[in-house]
Amino acid sequence: MNGFQLYFRLIQISLLSRMQYRANFIAGILGLIFWNVINLGLIGILVTQFTSLKDWTLWQLVFLYSLWVLGYSLYSLFFSHTSELENYLLEGSFDQFLLRPASPLVQLLGRELQHTEIANALIGLTGISLAYTQLDLHWEVWKWGFFFAAVVSSAIIALAINLLIACSGFWTGRSRGTSIIVNQFYGLVQQYPLDVFGSAFRFIVTGLIPLAFMNYYPALVLLNKVDRTNPGWWLSYVSPLVALLLIGLVSLVWRLGLDRYSSSGS
């Protein structure tokens, strides 16, 4: 079996075991829908009371939010369990990945499928479709291409950032704490355009933790908001490139981490 076949076989097994708990599945989906409705409700109240947020209208904000949700849902659907790496490292159960005759990374990635995230994907798609009609957008063919590339890039960026955090566990033993902070950045970038915040924030989520490439920058292109007089205008187009760079970085760090790994032994 090659890596891909193995990955899909692992996913299939995980899905079969998850479907044993149907009530949890439905409760999980309802919980997700509810959460998103509440978030959008809060944004909705703010924007209707203040008519807009900088030059972002309600439906543009819905688009921004939904683009993030769609990309992130692809990540969580397939890969959200990567944050469990910390536990495997601490308990020493990471050894089993190394003993089996298959790539440890494929084994980790294929460990689970978070199937309730389908709901988030649908919410993202619904939000984008509604915003598309409300804003009367008419994308040319290349924009549709850019849209799909942006969504995939967004998922990859989320995966890469979370894997990098998880990999830090190879050195420090603990990694979950860092994700608590990064999650706060996620929340802000997901809901509000960068224009709202100061330049320090813009620098962090562009250069250090490149979350803004998940929704803000591609949304500028897709909503025709790119301002060519702005020296950083080209950033709006480079999400796929950022995703590729991060893939390279992750595979490097992962390999270094594996070399570093010595079992906790238990």
Partner 1 sequence: MKLFWAFARQNFHAVAAYRFDFFLRASSILVLMYGIRWLWITLYTQRPGAFGVSLGQMVTYGVLSMAISNLFFTGPPYYMAQQVRTGAIDLDLLKPLDFHFHMLARSTGEMLFRVLVLALPGMLVGYVLFDLQLPADSKTGLLFVVALFLGYLVSFHLDFLLGTLALVTLEIHSIDWAFHATSRFFSGQFIPLWLFPGVVGTVANVLPFRSIFFIPLSIYTGALSGRDIGQAINFQLLWLFILWILSRWMWGRVQARIVSQGG
| Nearest approach, Cβ of residue 34 and partner 1 (Å) | 5
User: How many of the chain's residues bind partner 1 (CB under 8 A)?
Assistant: 39
Q: Which is nearer to partner 1, 51 or 133 (CB)?
A: 51
* Beta-carbon contacts of residue 222 (< 8 Å; ≥ 6 apart): 63, 67, 137, 139, 143, 146, 147, 150
Candidates 10-18, 20-28, 64-72, 159-167: pick the segment binding partner 1 (CB under 8 A).
Answer: 20-28
* Beta-carbon contacts of residue 137 (< 8 Å; ≥ 6 apart): 131, 222, 223, 224
Start-to-end C-alpha separation, the chain: 31
Establish if 31 lies at the interface with partner 1 (CB under 8 A): yes
Establish if 197 lies at the interface with partner 1 (CB under 8 A): yes
Which backbone phi and psi does 139 adopt, to 5 degrees?
-80, 140
Q: Which is nearer to partner 1, 181 or 241 (CB)?
A: 181
For residue 250, the tally of other CB atoms under 10 A from its CB is 20
Of 192, 213, 217, 254, the one binding partner 1 (CB under 8 A) is 192
Establish if 45 lies at the interface with partner 1 (CB under 8 A): yes
Token pair 């084994």 is found at 107
| Nearest approach, Cβ of residue 248 and partner 1 (Å) | 28
Instruction: Tell me the C-alpha distance between 115 and 246, whole Å.
Output: 25
Written as six digits, the tokens of 266 are: 């238990």
Of 181, 241, 252, 256, the one binding partner 1 (CB under 8 A) is 181
Residues that bind partner 1 (CB under 8 A): 23-24, 27-28, 30-32, 34-35, 37-39, 41-42, 45-46, 48-54, 174, 177-178, 180-181, 183-185, 187-188, 192, 195-198, 201
